[in-house]
């Protein structure tokens, strides 16, 4: 009986210690690495295409910071790389996105070629399908989810329940925890968290973007389609990039 009580107490102590060591983060800042495979995006088998690929690096890497608390997130450009490739720029590469998680609304500032747009709309509704696949990202155990956005774009996301707010990079959200990784295989783009900085975040830390022509997502899509209607396959590619 004494042995049973001893083992029971030992087991409870271990469980308590494990619970004490668990991380449940509600506020802080996450750095995301955004990587685009430029060579995969530039299609064609002519000599000009091959020569252009030789002049640019295969990948373009940029960094963004996601500041968050229980009810809000702010996604914006982070540290710069001095050797970043400027020869192949796409629409909406340096977005600033403020999201109110409670109200399920977002304000996005997007630079698309020579114009800046201010998009005020509800958050994107994504029908996620959870899987059993697991992956460790920035020290957090994440679970995989799949979905389709914009009717036909297949995306893969990894989220962690150890970070409570249900946000993520760009306009990706809606999973039961923070999204730390997103991959869009057919568009050759990924976002993955590199580190988390635990910190107190105040409401004054969320600087809502205000610059740009105001419209909603439907208006933005129509405006871009009209501007790029004669661009062929690259027009479709740039439209997708702008709407992500």
Identify the three-state secondary structure at position 128: coil
pLDDT value of residue 41: 82
pLDDT digits (tens, 9 = 90+) for 7-20: 444 444 433 333 33
Q: How far apart are the first and last CA of the chain?
A: 63
Percent above pLDDT 90 for the chain: 66
Of 48-57, 128-137, 191-200, give the lowest mean pLDDT range: 48-57
- For 87, what's the count of Cα atoms within 13 Å in the CB-facing half-sphere? 13
Mean pLDDT, range 84-110, rounded to an integer: 89
Residue 47, pLDDT > 90, answer no
Residue 118 CB coordination number (10 Å): 18
What is the average pLDDT across 177-188?
96
Nearest to 127 by CA among 170, 175, 74, 57: 175
For residue 136, give every residue at least 6 positions away whose Cβ sits within 8 Å of its Cβ, in sequence order, or none.
142
pTM over 0.85: yes
Please give the DSSP secondary-structure letter assigned to residue 186. G
Tell me the range of 39-43, 85-89, 122-126, 225-229 where mean pLDDT is highest. Answer: 122-126
Rounded distance between C-alpha atoms, residue 40 and residue 244, angstroms: 18
Q: Is the pLDDT of residue 111 over 80?
A: yes
Domain ranges of the chain: 23-125+160-243
**Whole-angstrom distance, CA of residue 95 vs CA of residue 133:** 30
Of 153, 180, 229, 130, the closest CA to residue 29 belongs to 180
Mean pLDDT (whole number) for 218-240: 86
Cα separation of 84 and 169, whole Å?
20
* Residue 109 main-chain phi, psi, to 5 deg: -105, 120
∠213-105-142 over CA atoms, to 5°? 120
Residue 14: per-residue pLDDT: 38
Question: Tokens in use for 7?
Answer: 């083992």
């Amino acid at each position: 009986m004494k042995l049973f009580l001893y083992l029971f107490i030992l087991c409870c102590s271990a469980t308590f210690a494990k619970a004490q060591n668990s991380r449940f983060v509600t506020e802080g800042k996450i750095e995301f690495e955004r990587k685009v495979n430029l060579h995969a995006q530039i299609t064609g088998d002519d000599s000009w295409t091959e020569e252009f690929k030789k002049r640019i690096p295969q990948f373009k890497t940029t960094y963004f910071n996601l500041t968050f608390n229980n009810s809000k997130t702010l996604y914006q450009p982070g540290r710069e790389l001095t050797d970043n490739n400027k020869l192949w720029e796409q629409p909406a590469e340096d977005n600033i996105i403020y999201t109110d998680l409670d109200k399920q609304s977002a304000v996005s500032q997007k630079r698309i070629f020579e114009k800046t747009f201010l998009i005020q709309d509800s958050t994107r509704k994504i029908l996620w399908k959870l899987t059993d696949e697991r992956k460790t990202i920035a020290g957090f155990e994440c679970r995989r989810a799949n979905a389709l956005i914009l009717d036909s774009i297949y995306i893969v996301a990894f989220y962690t329940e150890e970070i409570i707010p249900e946000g993520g990079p760009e306009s990706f959200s809606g999973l039961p925890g923070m999204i730390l990784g997103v991959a869009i295989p057919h568009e050759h783009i990924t976002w993955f968290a590199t580190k988390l900085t635990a910190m107190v975040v105040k409401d004054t830390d969320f600087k809502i973007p205000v610059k740009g022509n105001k419209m909603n997502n439907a208006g933005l899509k129509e405006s871009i389609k009209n501007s790029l209607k004669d661009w062929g396959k690259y027009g479709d590619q740039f439209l997708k990039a702008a709407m992500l």
